[in-house]
Amino acid sequence: MSARHYTEHRAQERFTRNAQLLELELRCNSPRRHLDVLLELLGLLVEQCGSSVLAASYRVQLIELKQRVTTRSNLRLVTS
């Protein structure tokens, strides 16, 4: 396995793990500052995932997660 493939593979693993963590944080109603840190990390990881079909699906997943964080935060402001 080349160094580039190894780097992409590790980034993909880390993206999956941190996306799951963000899902958990959303379910636990964690503060927005925690969610923003995870979103930033996921953005950096998705850049390292390469240009495969899997990486494209991660990009779509990241967009959906950003929308969920924004929607949840806005709903929280409205109900407060």
DSSP assignment of 11-66: HHHHHHHHHHHHHHHHHTT--HHHHHHHHHHHHHHHHHS-SSHHHHHHHHHHHHHH
Instruction: Give pLDDT tens digits for 26-52.
Output: 999 899 999 999 999 999 999 999 999
With a cut of 70, say whether residue 76 has pLDDT above it.
no
Instruction: Give pLDDT tens digits for 4-26.
Output: 999 999 999 999 999 999 999 99
Residue 78 has a pLDDT of 56
Residue 79 has a pLDDT of 62
> What is the number of domains present in the chain?
1
| Mean pLDDT calculated for residue range 65-70 | 94
Residue 1 has a pLDDT of 72
Q: Give me the domain span that covers residue 74.
A: 3-79
